[in-house]
A = this chain, B = another copy of it.
Amino acid sequence: MELAMGVDLGGTNIKGAVVSSRGDVLSFFSNPTEVEKGKERVFDNLEANVRSACQRAGVKLSEIKCVGIGSPGPLNTKTGIVIEAPNLPGWNYVPLKDIFEERLGVPVFIENDANAAGYAEAWLGAGRGTDCMLLFTLGTGIGGAIVINGELWHGPDDSAAELGHITIKYDGALCGCGNKGCLEAYASAPATVKRMKRALARGKKSTITRYLKEGRELTTKLIHKVAREGDELCRRVIKETGTYLGIAFSSYINIFNPDIIVLHGGLSGAGRMLFDAIRAEIKKRSFSMPAKRVRIVRSRLKGRAGVIGSAGCAFKAYGISV
């Protein structure tokens, strides 16, 4: 059994864990990223995170075979350079691998954060034992991972699996990426919140207004909470998000014939409201054979998928069998 360190570098928090080649999580540590304090500060925080996670696991850094860092992308897994990171302002062509091999004295592998989560779910989570798994990270953006025969599909430029950037309406809503009609422009957290705001502005009634008057921020989390309390408008807004996801998933089902589609983060916890809407759309739209095959499920490893997957990808990159 070997040990790796998995790090999930997010815009808000850095998560780290010591993970064994059997997939056991020996320790877990989370601290603030502090993006606003500059790149060097983030590097210091990341290094501190790694050292703390080791300490908690009772292992020395020298016992760690490799470190995997899941980072926002685009990035280059071969050179270990983060080309750009939307949630980490000012990060352009950051040689993350070199910097941390220098700081830690351990081989480092960097991977796209959605790919890391996908790898984890295929290795130890909801996608275990499947031939084809697609994972969607639902949040500010919609990221994705494609796992075929146990391997992540990166593409020659590490820019494959941008599953949120499939066009579902070519003359539709403008997406942050510059395209019109991407799934992300319809089903991301900001798109869902925007739909809710528009409905309220049109005078639709919802008990969510009570919370808003108390000063609560309008988030997908709040929409979900009020939907669970039975509010019709909130339920409808979540269903609409499910419908948009279902439209895109129908295409993905026709393209990949996947065994499983895993939803990770954000609204993925919205349960039946969301999943029923997704499934109804798939039934309407995709070919019946692959539609029967595919399971649509929630991430099993949840908040730990990123660290487990980063460690798993590092094991793989350095030829350590798991």
Binding site for B on A (CB under 8 A): 74, 131-132, 146, 148, 153-163, 165-172, 177-181, 244, 247-248, 250-251, 254-259, 284-287, 289-290, 293
Contact = CB atoms under 8 A, between A and B. Distances in A.
Q: Classify the secondary structure of A's interface with B.
A: loop
Given A154-B257, A159-B257, A179 B293 contact: no
A254 B157 contact: no
A168 B247 CA distance: 10
Contact of A250 (B132, B167, B284, B286): B167
Nearest to A293: B157
A179 B284 CA distance: 7
A179 B250 contact: yes
A155 B247 contact: no
Nearest to A247: B170
Contact of A256 (B132, B153, B293): B153
B169 A258 contact: no
Given A132-B156, A170-B168, A251-B167, A162 B259 contact: no
B290 A254 contact: no
